[in-house]
Amino acid sequence: MDVRAHIQAHRDEFVATLSQWLAIPSISADPARHGDVRRSAEWLAEHLRKTGFPTVEIWETPGLPAVFAEWPAADPDAPAVVVYGHHDVQPVDPLDAWDTDPFTPTVRGDQLIGRGASDDKGQILFHTLGLRANLAVSGADAPPVTIKLLVEGEEESGSPHFADLLTRHRDRLACDVVVISDTTMWGADTPSMCVGMRGLTDCQIDVYGPRTDLHSGSFGGAAPNPARALAALLAGLHDADGRVAIPGFYDEVVEASPAERASIAALPFDEAAWLANAASDAAVGEAGYSILERVWLRPTAEINGMWSGYTGEGGKTIVPRSAHAKLSFRLVPDQEPALIQERVRRYVHDHLPPGVRAEVRFHGPGVRPCASDLDSAAVRAAREAMGRAFGTEVHYTREGGSGPEADLADILGAPLVFVAVGLNSDRIHAPNEKVEIPLLLKGAETVAYLWDSYATALRG
Amino acid sequence: MDVRAHIQAHRDEFVATLSQWLAIPSISADPARHGDVRRSAEWLAEHLRKTGFPTVEIWETPGLPAVFAEWPAADPDAPAVVVYGHHDVQPVDPLDAWDTDPFTPTVRGDQLIGRGASDDKGQILFHTLGLRANLAVSGADAPPVTIKLLVEGEEESGSPHFADLLTRHRDRLACDVVVISDTTMWGADTPSMCVGMRGLTDCQIDVYGPRTDLHSGSFGGAAPNPARALAALLAGLHDADGRVAIPGFYDEVVEASPAERASIAALPFDEAAWLANAASDAAVGEAGYSILERVWLRPTAEINGMWSGYTGEGGKTIVPRSAHAKLSFRLVPDQEPALIQERVRRYVHDHLPPGVRAEVRFHGPGVRPCASDLDSAAVRAAREAMGRAFGTEVHYTREGGSGPEADLADILGAPLVFVAVGLNSDRIHAPNEKVEIPLLLKGAETVAYLWDSYATALRG
Ligand SMILES: [Zn+2]
Ligand SMILES: [Zn+2]
């Protein structure tokens, strides 16, 4: 029996098992559901024991628990893989927008509907099916690589304790590669591999002028207006080509390779559909890059909010005493949040007109960007395994967003590889979340092949 | 007996009479005080009858009443003067910041303390003293010019019915000049005449981008950001020289005469005191003009408020769906609010990047600027009369603010002359409002001389 046949033979069992797990409402953002998050961790631990993992542990945090499981390869020199996912799910409001109960998993044709089906329980569970398929075909009683599964319980709440957890267990999580299964592919017929995520740092800028609001009749024309100073700062963030104009902003940016750009250009991109999705009348951005490249490959400076002076009904003729903005910067390799923060501060302080002063406060250290090395054995093997499962070429994509994944690479000191089979149409974080069952099976097939490849490809 | 001796002889009686009036809390902004505003009108009407005005009327409005009094000259061909002031006063909060009860007028040396002492009851009442002095010296039983006193009851509430009142009574208010007694002089030892006020028009700009807030990770870099578009619009309002960069903005601006600029330059201006008053660390503004010129002679574009997107604690990484600003424009002769509104609209619509749209909503038709003709007989005579009363040269000043005065000039078709003796230190609109009694007496003396001058200077 081959991998694909084994997986097909276990399809119904797989769907039934996943449905059991999906029935547990493990909403980490809802304190009333924290008992369910714990129940979800225990369910998963039990399932991993049944799968055959000799070591299964619940890892406590000051918040909600993660699950750790380890199945060592027979060969002590075999490479080790950390697989990352999360067992908590998003809230389900608005409940009345769901066609079925979010925690009564429902099969409709090839789809399994329920909260967490795609994000992320389905994508964790394909790993246990894939591992069993690998073992069934090899006949071995241990995987060809050491598998360390780490399944977080607070991802949908911002992973507040995740970096600490990684640091605390760094030794036990030692590995040659981290496989992330929590993203999406371009489409069901267009399998793709995410090869990077943008980083993030965000701040508040407070600009102060007169020590009190002034009457614009008595003082207007000669008193410094902090809203005007802030508008100039914000307008100066970009040049006419849509590039970020903060000196040094691009200094550490590594341009994406021609191969990656070609792969992105080959995606069947539909601009009209993108605009509909963005609820926008036009796409904008940095000259010289496509829409996808702007969102995936390029760093940004974005105004998230601003306020100053009078904002009520009608008018109030004041020179306001202060003006404020929230900015966020999406970063790409190898931009360092700390360096960008320093340059933003300098930009602000170098562009203040007389009579105003400013404070720039960043919210925490920021999130570093991450990207896979497309020429690495880890990425090439994953792309091949996925291509074998899907029977077609695998494109490269990236994520424009930022997540705890960068912490995995930084703290564990291992490269990231994204192996995931969600779709953008899965309605994650929204009512009627679903997953395509055939894609979960392809995910299982991919990792069944991948562990064999890694056993040789990643060997020191 | 001469004018000055007559006035000095009646000083105590004048202070006692004014104190009676100041005891009436005629706060037009406080509905609970509207009975007092009416009582104030009735008190004034009675006082004007006692002064000798043959015609005294309460003029009703849909809001609070004005007082009209007319004393015709004996000569039917004599010029007619409208004297404008207001009998309503500002609220008194914060009450505990007052050293004395605001409606228990208190004499301290040369000062009379109480709400309305300077703004504007004291400045109306000097007219009755001045008129009696004129008559006492001439021995006539009618003034040398026809005096039409118009004392509004809603000035501190924005004069919502004043233009209507003027239009309704336009015939009875026919005149050769309008004398406004509701402003300030440069200083007790530096008498000055206001010769202009800036106009005003203000608007809200609403800029719309995506039809919903977007996730800045998924869309940032390619989705249009309306806050960025607004910042660019606002930053573009001024050029590097501090001039308003809206095309056509200065087209109708009449430069102040060299004589007026020289008079302003001769004022004993103390920049450190101005900065302290403006609670500011630096003065800014249009290149080529002094601080006073920027506030008095030059038009402005001011950001009064703005808001967009997320303004709470911490960060929220969105591309906001909309961004908003409140702007006001101070105008100088001969800028027309309607033309400026049109040019602001065009500026906004000509500077929108792709993917955003904007709405510009002006709050009403705006207020036209006004200025006196310094070479007119009306201004020259007033300056001479004031100079005679004060025994020193009278400077020109302007007001940077905007008021109903422009309506008087427009609707009555007569030039404005400002004759007033308030001081910037009078704490009008603030706790512990006071007036300098000797200056009120100088005001009385000024108009006693002025009516004689006008009898010949303004004669057809
Ligand atoms: Zn997820
Ligand atoms: Zn006033």
pLDDT tens per residue across span A100-143: 999 999 999 999 999 999 999 999 999 999 999 999 999 999 99
CA distances from B444 to A75, B139, B415, B418, B439 (A): 109, 17, 21, 14, 9
* Among B271, B277, B256, residue whose Cα is nearest residue B369: B256
Q: What is the pLDDT of residue B402?
A: 84
Q: How far is the CA of A118 from the centre of ligand 1 (A)?
A: 8
pLDDT number for residue B57: 98
Q: How far is CA B181 from the centre of its chain?
A: 10
> Is any Cβ of chain B less than 8 angstroms from the Cβ of A218?
yes
Chain A residue numbers touching B322 (CB-CB < 8 A): none
Q: Ligand 1 centre and the CA of A10: distance in Å? A: 25
Q: Are strands A434-436 and A111-113 parallel, antiparallel or unpaired?
A: antiparallel
DSSP B181: -
Distance in angstroms (rounded) separating the CA atoms of residues A332 and A300: 9
How far away is chain A from the Cα of B279, in angstroms, using its nearest Cα?
5
- Among B306, B321, B351, most A C-beta atoms within 10 A, so best to mutate, is B306
- Mind telling me how many Å the CA of B456 is from chain A's nearest CA? 36
**Does residue B12 surpass a pLDDT of 90?**
yes
Q: Find the DSSP H helices in A206-257.
A: 216-219, 226-235
Q: In what order do the strands lie in the sheet with B111-113?
A: B106-108, B111-113, B434-436
- Say how far apart CA B84 and CA B159 lie, in whole Å: 13
- Cβ atoms of B196 and B368 within 8 Å: the answer is no
Task: Return d(Cα A371, Cα A415) in angstroms, integer.
Answer: 8
Report the separation in Å between the CA atom of B196 and the middle of ligand 1, taken as the mean of its atom positions.
Answer: 66
pLDDT band at A152 (very low <50, low <70, confident <90, very high): very high
In the prediction, which pLDDT does A401 show? 87
Residues A173 and A106 sit within 8 Å (Cβ to Cβ): no
Omega of the bond leading into B120 within 30 degrees of 0 (cis)? yes
A202: nearest CA partner in chain B: B315
- CB contacts, 8 Å: A325 with chain B: 227
Rg (C-alpha) for chain A, rounded Å, is 25
Residue with the two structure tokens 């009875």 = B172
> Ligand 1 being an ion, which residues bring their Cβ within 5 A of it?
A 119-120, 182
Please indicate whether, in this complex, the C-beta atoms of A218 and B302 are within 8 angstroms of each other: no
Q: Please give the Cα distance from B102 to A92 (Å, whole number).
A: 60
Element (H, E) at B138: helix B121-138
For the segment B410-444, what is each residue's pLDDT rounded down to a tens digit? 899 999 999 999 998 999 989 999 999 999 999 99
Q: Residue B300: what pLDDT?
A: 98
Q: Is A405 touching B (CB cutoff 8 A)?
A: no
Please determine, for residue B201, whether its predicted confidence score (pLDDT) is greater than 80: yes
Give me the percent of chain A exceeding a pLDDT of 90.
Answer: 94
Q: What is the pLDDT of residue B405?
A: 85
Q: Mean of the pLDDT values across residues B47-58?
A: 98
pLDDT higher than threshold 80 for residue B1? no
- Taking only the tens place, the pLDDT of each residue in B208-225 is 999 999 999 899 999 999
What is the ipTM metric for this complex? 0.90
In this structure, the dihedral spanned by the alpha carbons of residues A159, A164, A169 and A173, taken in order and rounded to 10 degrees, is 50
pLDDT tens digits for range B148-195: 999 999 999 989 999 999 999 999 999 999 999 999 999 999 999 999
First to last CA, chain A: 31
Is a pLDDT exceeding 90 seen at residue A392? Answer: yes
- Alpha-carbon distance A213 to nearest alpha carbon in chain B (angstroms): 9
- Asked if B273 has any chain A CB less than 8 Å from its own CB, the reply is no
Could you report the per-residue pLDDT of A341-377, keeping only the tens digit for each?
999 999 999 999 999 999 999 999 999 999 999 999 9
The answer to whether residue A313 neighbours chain B at the CB level (below 8 Å) is no
Beta strand A66-71 with A146-152 is antiparallel
- Pick B210's closest partner by Cβ from A280, A328, A399: A280
Mean pLDDT of the residues in chain A: 96
* Kind plus residue range of the DSSP H or E element containing B81: strand B80-86
Percent share of chain A, pLDDT over 70 = 100
> What is the predicted pLDDT for the residue at B407?
85
Q: Are B126 and B444 in contact (CB under 8 A)?
A: yes
Q: For chain B, list the domains and their CATH numbers.
A: 3-197+369-457 (3.40.630.10), 199-253+299-362 (3.30.70.360)
Give pLDDT, residue B415.
94
CA A147 to centroid of ligand 1, rounded, Å: 20
- A contacts of B363 (beta carbons < 8 Å): 314-315
| Residue from A306, A316, A321, A361 to probe the interface with B (highest B Cβ count within 10 Å) | A306
The percentage of residues in chain B with a pLDDT greater than 90, rounded to a whole number, is 94
d(CA A351, CA B235): 13
Among all residues of chain B, which has the CA nearest to that of A235?
B232
Best residue in A243, A302, A307, A426 for a mutation probing chain B (most B CBs within 10 Å) = A302
Per-residue pLDDT band for B377 (boundaries 50, 70, 90) equals very high
* Residue A291, pLDDT score: 98
- pLDDT > 70: percent of chain B: 100
Give residue for tokens 């200065």. B250
Query: How many whole angstroms from A84 Cα to the centroid of ligand 1?
Result: 10
In the numeric block, which tokens belong to residue B320? 């906001």
Contacts of B235 in chain A (CB under 8 A): 228, 231-232, 234-236
pLDDT of A1 above 80: no
- The per-residue pLDDT of chain B, averaged, comes to 96
Looking at the DSSP bridge assignments, the partners of residue B38 are: none
Across the interface, whether the CB atoms of A210 and B280 are under 8 A apart is answered yes
Peptide bond before A120: cis, by omega within 30 degrees of 0? yes
Residue A416 is predicted with a pLDDT of 94
Give the model's pLDDT for residue B148. 98
Flag if B216 and A320 touch (Cβ within 8 Å).
Answer: no
Phi and psi angles of residue B328, each rounded to the nearest 5 degrees, phi first: -130, 150
A315 CB neighbours in chain B (<8 A) are 202-204, 304, 326, 328, 363
CA separation, residue A249 to residues A237, A300, A329, B2, B315 (Å): 10, 10, 10, 79, 21
Interface of B with A in 337-376 (CB under 8 A): 353-355, 357, 363
B392-419 per-position pLDDT tens digit: 999 999 999 887 888 899 899 999 999 9
Contact with chain B for residue A317, Cβ under 8 A: yes
pLDDT in tens, B122-158: 999 999 999 999 999 999 999 999 999 999 999 999 8
- Dihedral sign of CA atoms A426, A428, A433, A438 in order: positive
In contact, B457 and B381? CB cutoff 8 Å: yes
Residue A459, pLDDT score: 86
A266 alpha carbon – ligand 1 mean position (Å):
27
The string of pLDDT tens digits covering residues A398-455 is 999 887 888 899 899 999 999 999 998 999 989 999 999 999 999 999 999 999 999 9
Of all residues in chain A, the one with the smallest CA distance to B209 is A280
Asked if A269 is an interface residue toward chain B (Cβ–Cβ < 8 A), one would say no
Residues in chain A: 460
